[in-house]
Amino acid sequence: MAEKGFSGFPAQADVTPVPNLFFATVLPEINDLSEMKTILHVLWLVSRRRGYNRFVSYTELSSDLTFLTGTDGDTDMGKSELRRALEKAVERQVLLLMKVEVDGRTEELYFVNDAAGRRAMDGIRLGKVAKVHLVPGDGEKGGRAQLADIFRLYEQNIGLLTPMVADELREAEKLYPRDWIESAFREAVALNKRNWRYISRILERWAVEGKDDGKIGRYPEKRTDREKYVRGRYGHLVKR
């Protein structure tokens, strides 16, 4: 006898919020089914939590036999698939990893790389989650990644991040030193010029004329190579 098919979602079914940027920017780059299912599963679990508890532990994920069986049909292999999928999601900076101590043992916590997830990580650093303590040393991965910081700067100072702006931020991260980008954001905010076009023009000007600290390049041995800052997306806008 054939199994019954899915009967459809009820009219008042609960929903899980997924950022539009995930579909526009992240999903097209994912070619691994386990990674995609793991990210969506974490989004679902985290959406049901509040405050500084917006995270999912590796123990919780690896103990979910229903989820693991869904990765490749075998729970033992499922754990190795889960580990690989989580590593890829962290490398992609969709998820952020923090290692903590819980009751004397090390645990891995996974956060969604959004404003709420980053606040939750800050809460743990400040000791606001009971019985959870940050592992001394290199206890986290992804949370302080430069690209994630650029996205955070944009969201905090300008507003909603669109796929087009996200691409431009990635390009800027390749072209300019981190402290330049942070300084350009501060200058734009101080002048109430809260838009990426104005910030990018500041960076372009510094690349050609030099910044007020006298530095021209990211790498000291290449400080005279100004051209490397104007070969990218913004090169046609810069006066040579």
Residues 40 and 112 in one domain: yes
What CA–CA distance (Å, rounded) separates 101 from 112?
A: 20
Look at the chain and report how many structural domains it folds into. 2
Q: Which two tokens stand for residue 171?
A: 């390009």
CB 134 within 8 A of CB 147: no
At 132, is the pLDDT very low, low, confident or very high (cuts 50, 70, 90)?
confident
Q: What is the pLDDT of residues 23-38, one digit of tens each?
A: 988 999 999 999 999 9
pLDDT digits (tens, 9 = 90+) for 104-119: 889 999 999 988 888 8
Q: Which of 141, 160, 190 is the last residue of a domain?
A: 141
Closest CA to 111 of 212, 29, 180, 39: 39
Residues 79 and 183 both lie in one domain: no
Structural domain including 150 reads 146-237
Task: Look up the pTM and report it.
Answer: 0.58
Same domain, 151 and 136: no
Q: Which of 91, 114, 141 is the last residue of a domain?
A: 141
- Please check whether residues 171 and 116 belong to one and the same domain: no
Q: Tell whether 180 and 214 lie within a shared domain.
A: yes
Based on the domain organization, do 131 and 153 belong to the same domain?
Answer: no
Does residue 219 belong to any structural domain of this protein?
yes
Q: Is residue 15 part of a domain?
A: no
Would you say 59 and 107 are in contact if contact means Cβ atoms under 8 Å apart? Answer: yes
Residue 13 lies in a domain: no
Q: Does residue 50 sit in the same domain as residue 155?
A: no
Q: Which residues of 121-139 are buried (b: 16+ CB within 10 A; e: fewer)?
A: bebbbeeebeebebeeeeb
Q: Is position 71 within any domain? A: yes
CATH at residue 233? 1.10.10
